[in-house]
Amino acid sequence: IEREWGPHRKLALCPSGATFSQPMAQSFVEEPRLLLLCGRYEGFDERIFELHQIERVSIGNFVLSGGELPALCIVDAVTRLVPGALGDERSAQEDSFQDGETLDHPHYTRPRTFRGLAVPEVLMGGDHAQIDAWRRKQAQARTQARPTPGSHPTQPNNGAF
Task: Identify residue 48 by its one-letter amino acid code.
Answer: I
Compute the radius of gyration of the chain from its Cα atoms. Answer: 20
**Active site positions, annotated:** 15, 42, 80, 95
**Alpha-carbon distances, residue 99 vs 60, 75, 93, 102, 144 (angstroms):** 20, 20, 9, 6, 15
Q: Which helix (H) or strand (E) holds 58?
A: strand 54-58
